[in-house]
Amino acid sequence: MKQHIERHQVWIYLLCIAAGLMLGMALPDAAPLAEAVLWPVLGVLLYVTFTQVPLTHLPEAFRDARFIGAGLLGNFVLIPAIVSGLLFFLPADPAVRLGVLLVLLVPCTDWFVTFTHLGGGDARRAIAVTPVNLLVQIALLPVYLWIFMGENFAEILAADRIAAVFVTLILLPLAAAFLTERWAERKPARAGTIERLGLLPVPLLGLVVFLIATAQVQAVADALPVLGHVAGIFVAFLVLALLLGLVLGRVFGLPATSARTLVFSFGTRNSFVVLPLSLALAAPWQAATVVIVFQGLVELFGMVAYLWLLPRIVLDRTS
Structural domain boundaries of the chain? 2-318
CB neighbour burial string for 236-252, b if at least 16 within 10 angstroms, e if fewer: ebbebbbebbbbbbeeb
Could you report the per-residue pLDDT of 215-274, keeping only the tens digit for each?
988 888 888 888 988 999 999 999 999 999 999 999 999 999 999 999 999 999 976 788
Please report the pLDDT score of residue 318 as a whole number. 39
Q: Are 116 and 260 in contact (CB under 8 A)?
A: yes
Residue 229 CB coordination number (10 Å): 12
Which pLDDT score is estimated for 69? 95
CA distance 8 to 3: 9
Q: Which H or E element spans position 76?
A: none
Planar angle of CA 188, 194, 197, nearest 5 degrees: 145
Q: Does the domain at residues 2-318 carry the CATH identifier 1.20.1070.10?
A: no
Count of alpha carbons within 13 angstroms of residue 141, beta-carbon side? 25
Other beta carbons within 10 Å of 291: 29
Q: List pLDDT tens digits, range 45-104.
A: 999 989 988 887 777 767 888 999 999 999 999 999 999 999 999 988 999 999 999 999
Residue 228 CB neighbours (<10 A): 8
CA distance 59 to 52: 16
